[in-house]
């Protein structure tokens, strides 16, 4: 007969009674007390021939934390496990290397093993994490609630490491101040249909570094944005496909890590304003004929931007007159390749001049919401446009995308 009794998760008892022929019997009892640091066992047995047996045992693993000069006693350690040796620091100059500009990060806690809960980095930013499973992926979680700033986040969090029995893995983990950026998009008219709107954050080089999709309520958030200067915008390709416009076009962001959460100004989406071809389209096919002169744009730019150019006395490029045989005839609906959009008209014209040096033809610009947008080619279907974009130089193809224009 066997009787097992568990008083708690740490205390377990087992009793066994054996009876044999000839009135022989034996009674045995085994008691196990499991602690965080060690396992204690006690066993007794008695038989009818007055034979007694008592045993006492203790089981533990000993490990030495050389960072804090402490011996660690744990029942989960064994020679078959590995150890993680970590160094955490605040990467002030954002180069992912510890140097004279950085500082050690104290009181970082770790997961995913329960026996790491009481372990944190010391004043030198170091921690010793033993007992990791060998020959299997291990993910480390970081808790910065008790550090000098809860918004400190590990620059690289989505990684796993492997170790071998008895192995020690050393890792330097850079942290920086992260901000959660959140906002909402409003639809100015009931007729506007826009859901799951893609939002983008651009760096100082106008490169998209993060993109998220707004939820069904047109709310969005970026979970981790590092200190720096950025621009927040709605994906322009999405707006072009939907014939929509946003106000503002973009929102400048200047993050220094002081704020854990930042709620930005509301974006408003409305139908794109239609303009006549004569006032909004200037097509330039003979780009080689462009020469710099100090005068306002003529003919095709007789719109509100003309006054702006005249007052600023900018150097602009003369445009071929509207009766030129080289002016391309624009159809009602065409596909084109957008290669730029600029609020500064003078800079827009300089970009057109740069394109002319690449011997590219069929270049034209369109004024939309005070932005000078530069396009290349006019195609009757999207497939032809995609073939054309693949043949563009890498410097142009990288930032170009296909749009549909309606007039």
Angle between helices 345-356 and 304-312 (to 10 degrees): 90
Q: What integer pLDDT is reported at residue 200 of this predicted model?
A: 96
Provide the β-strand partners of residue 56. 42
Superfamily of domain 62-177 in the CATH hierarchy: Immunoglobulins (2.60.40.10)
Dist. CA 82–CA 352, nearest whole Å: 61
pLDDT < 50 stretches in the chain: 275-331
Torsion region of 228: left, alpha or beta (phi above 0 gives left; psi -120 to 50 gives alpha): left
Which 3-state string (H, E, C) describes 365-387? EEEECCEEEEEEEEECCHHHHHH
**Residue entry with tokens 């490029």:** 317
Q: From the options 3.30.565.10, 3.30.70.1070, 3.40.630.30, 3.40.190.10, give the CATH code of 277-406.
A: 3.30.70.1070
Is 183 in contact with 219 (CB distance < 8 Å)?
Answer: yes
Dist. CA 27–CA 15, nearest whole Å: 7
Q: What integer pLDDT is reported at residue 229 of this predicted model?
A: 92
DSSP at 324: -
Is 232 in contact with 284 (CB distance < 8 Å)?
Answer: no
385: nearest Cα among 404, 357, 366: 404
Q: How long a stretch of residues is the chain? A: 407
- The model carries a pTM of 0.49
Specify whether domain 183-271 bears CATH 2.60.40.10: yes
Dist. CA 57–CA 238, nearest whole Å: 70
**Residue entry with tokens 């930032």:** 399
Structure tokens at 365: 């610009």
Is 377 in contact with 336 (CB distance < 8 Å)?
Answer: yes
Dist. CA 121–CA 115, nearest whole Å: 15
Is 372 in contact with 309 (CB distance < 8 Å)?
Answer: no
Is 149 in contact with 227 (CB distance < 8 Å)?
Answer: no
Is 296 in contact with 316 (CB distance < 8 Å)?
Answer: yes
- The dihedral built from the CA positions of residue 189, 195, 200 and 206, taken in this order, carries a sign that is negative
Give me the helices (H) in 257-365, please: 277-280, 304-312, 345-356
What element of type H or E holds 129?
strand 126-132
Q: What integer pLDDT is reported at residue 89 of this predicted model?
A: 95
Asked whether the domain spanning 277-406 has the same topology as the one spanning 62-177, the reply is: no
User: What are the sequence ranges of the domains in the chain?
Assistant: 2-59, 62-177, 183-271, 277-406
* Beta-carbon-side half-sphere exposure of residue 16 (alpha carbons within 13 Å): 9
Nearest 5°: phi and psi at 163? -140, 175
Neighbouring C-beta atoms of residue 164, cutoff 10 Å: 12
Dist. CA 71–CA 75, nearest whole Å: 13
Structure tokens at 62: 């000993």
Per-residue model confidence as pLDDT tens digits over 91-140: 988 888 899 889 999 999 998 777 788 889 999 999 988 888 888 888 88
Q: What integer pLDDT is reported at residue 75 of this predicted model?
A: 65
Per-residue model confidence as pLDDT tens digits over 260-277: 889 999 999 999 875 433
Contacts of residue 307, Cβ cutoff 8 Å, sequence gap at least 6: none
Is 249 in contact with 270 (CB distance < 8 Å)?
Answer: no
């Amino acid at each position: 007969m066997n009787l097992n009794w568990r008083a708690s998760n740490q205390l377990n008892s087992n009793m066994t009674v054996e009876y044999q022929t000839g009135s022989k019997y034996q009674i045995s009892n085994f008691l196990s007390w499991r602690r965080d640091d060690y396992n204690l066992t006690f066993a007794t047995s008695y038989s009818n021939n007055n034979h007694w047996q008592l045993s006492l045992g203790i089981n533990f693993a000993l490990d030495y934390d050389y960072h804090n000069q402490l011996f660690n006693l744990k029942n989960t350690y064994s020679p078959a496990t590995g150890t993680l040796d970590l160094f955490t620091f605040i990467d002030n100059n954002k180069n992912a290397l510890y140097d004279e500009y950085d500082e050690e990060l104290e009181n970082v806690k770790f997961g995913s093993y329960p026996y790491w809960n009481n372990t944190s980095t010391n004043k030198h930013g170091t921690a010793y994490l033993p007992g990791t499973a060998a020959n299997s992926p291990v993910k480390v979680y970081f808790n910065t609630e008790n550090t000098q700033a809860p918004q400190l986040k590990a620059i690289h969090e989505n990684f796993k490491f492997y170790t071998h029995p008895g192995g020690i893995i050393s890792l330097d983990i850079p942290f920086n101040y992260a901000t959660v950026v959140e906002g909402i998009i409003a639809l100015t008219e009931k007729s506007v249909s826009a859901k799951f709107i893609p939002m983008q954050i651009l760096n100082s080089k106008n490169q998209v570094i993060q993109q998220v999709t707004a939820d069904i309520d047109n709310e969005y958030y970026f979970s981790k944005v590092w200190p720096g200067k950025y621009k927040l915008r709605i994906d322009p390709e999405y707006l072009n496909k939907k014939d929509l416009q946003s106000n503002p076009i973009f929102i400048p962001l200047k993050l220094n890590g002081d704020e854990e959460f930042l709620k930005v100004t509301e974006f408003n989406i409305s139908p794109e304003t239609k303009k006549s071809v004569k006032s909004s389209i200037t097509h330039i096919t003979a780009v080689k004929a462009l020469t710099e002169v100090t005068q306002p744009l003529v003919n095709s730019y007789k719109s509100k931007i003309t006054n702006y150019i005249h007052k600023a006395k900018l150097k602009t490029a003369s445009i071929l007159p509207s009766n030129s045989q080289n002016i391309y005839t624009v159809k009602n609906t065409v596909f084109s390749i957008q290669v730029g959009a600029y609020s500064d008209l003078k800079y827009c014209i300089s970009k057109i001049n740069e394109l002319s040096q690449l011997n590219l033809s069929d270049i034209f610009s369109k004024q939309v919401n005070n932005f000078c947008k530069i396009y290349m080619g006019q195609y009757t279907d999207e497939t032809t446009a995609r073939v054309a974009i693949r043949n563009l130089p890498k410097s142009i193809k990288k930032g170009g995308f296909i749009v549909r224009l309606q007039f």
